[in-house]
Every structure is written in structure tokens, then in C-alpha cells.
Amino acid sequence: MATLNLNLGFKDFYFRLIGIPLVGLAIPLIFFNSTFNTPLYWNNTLFSIFYTALYWHICRYFILKFNNWFPYLTDNKKRLAYIFLFCSLLIIGLCDIIHFFLEPYLKVYQQTPGFFQINAASFVTFVGVASMYEAMRFFDLWKQAIVEKE
């Protein structure tokens, strides 16, 4: 069994520890018109943190996988296309499955948001997480290139 090379160029433990709750807190406020004084705000927020953690770790796993498969800068377009297509389809599909099968039984929302709202929040979460990892990867590769030139 092949092991996953955790070569992000940085340690992301604290990044995840702080980022997941922050994004999870922001999603209900941005996408679901929640406010702090609504009765189910904290319930919505906990469910949002669950979604964020799930999507964050899925995105992270596949970003690492595609970084291993396409490690060179010449493969950047191909790697980014694979990450975008694969993770988008996976996240949106997973979001719809959870929204359809799990959420009705948990009665998470006072007013159930539509699929567009749920998918938009999931997609923006994925794009934000992937963008942060890609920016950090690019910065690390840039630093390596400067050191090699010196």
C-alpha cells in the first residue's frame, strides 16, 4: 500500500484547527441568513462546522494526492484541473447525499435551505480551502526556486 507524502511545505495542523471553526462559523451567516439571536443558530453552526471539517479534509487529501501525482510546475494546469473537477463533483455529490438523506432526520434548520444554497456554500468552502493550499504550495515552490538560484 502506497503511503501519502505529506509534503505541503508547511505544517497545517494549526491552520486546520483554527480555520475549520472559523469557516464553519461564517457559513451560516453568509449563506443561510442566520443571526446570533435565532434559536437554531448554534445548531446550524455545529452542522456547518461538520460540513466544513468533512470538506476540508477531503480537499486536503486529494490535493496531497494530486500533488504527489503531478509534482512539477509544468503539470500545474493539469493538476489544478484534476483537483477542481474531481473535488467539485465529489463535494457537491456528497453534499446532496447528506442533505437529502441525513438532514431531514436531524431537523437541523428551521427553514430548510434549497439545494442551490447548500451547494453554493459547499462549493465556496472547497474553493476557499483549495485556494489557500495552492497559494501556500506556490509560495513554498517560489521560496525553493529562490534558494536554488542563489
pTM value is 0.76
Least confident range of 19-23, 30-34, 124-128: 30-34
Q: From CA 89, how far away is CA 104, in angstroms rounded?
A: 22
Instruction: Decide if pLDDT at 3 tops 50.
Output: no
Contact 87, 66 (CB under 8 A): no
The amino acid at 107: K
- 72-117: pLDDT as tens digits: 878 888 989 999 999 889 988 888 887 777 766 666 555 566 777 7
Reply yes or no on whether the pLDDT at 135 is more than 70: yes
Give the span between the Cα atoms of 69 and 10, in whole angstroms: 19
Residue 63's nearest CA partner among 98, 31, 23, 15 is 15
Report whether pLDDT(6) > 60.
no
DSSP conformational letter for 36 = T
Q: Name the average pLDDT for the chain.
A: 80
Maximum mean pLDDT: which of 33-37, 79-83, 121-125: 79-83
